[in-house]
Amino acid sequence: MTASASIEIAGLKETIRSLNKVEPGLRKEFTKNANEIAQPAIQEAQKGYAKIPLSGMARNWTDKSGRKIFPFSVAKAQSGVKLKVDAAREAVSLLYITQTNVGAAVFEAAGRSNPNTLGDSLGPLKPNQTRVLGPAVYRKRGEIEKALQRLSMDAIQRVQKEMN
């Protein structure tokens, strides 16, 4: 489950893909720095997982194929909030905060695309919205936006300098 806030910097995907060509380890350094910058939004999202939303979510649930979805765990939901850097050509977003825990991701999106009992029990949700991640990221967007832009521009300048 991802939350998105769009900022476009031309050539950033190509720059991220080129970082290891310039100097081994630069991509890891970029990801580490981006993760540090995004910590206020990540911590804000983690605070949103303070309790089990519905008592039934504490029980074991599996889908039709047998994949485990619940029990919902607050600790696992909090540790599932991560920053991802995806510089693939077909990727829609380069940097995004996502929920990697299945139970928390179901909580985030239940009832978003079609009405269902779980979504109704958790409360109404508009299309393209999430319950915790989106609001948390938007609350902290101002804090992290300029720093991420600066980090991105530094990476672009470094690659351009090394390539020329």
Mean pLDDT, rounded, for 64-81: 91
Residue 9's pLDDT is 52
Specify whether the CB–CB gap between 129 and 113 falls below 8 A: no
For the chain, helix, strand, coil in percent to 5 are 55, 10, 35
Owner of token pair 């909030």: 81
Q: Is the pLDDT of residue 5 over 70?
A: no
Q: Are 140 and 37 in contact (CB under 8 A)?
A: no
Tell me the mean pLDDT in the region 155-163.
80
To the question of pTM greater than 0.85 for the whole model, the response is no
Gap between the Cα atoms of 81 and 101, Å rounded: 8
pLDDT in the model for residue 128: 79
Look up residue 56 and give its DSSP letter.
G
Q: What angle do CA 42, 12, 151 make, to 5 degrees?
A: 50
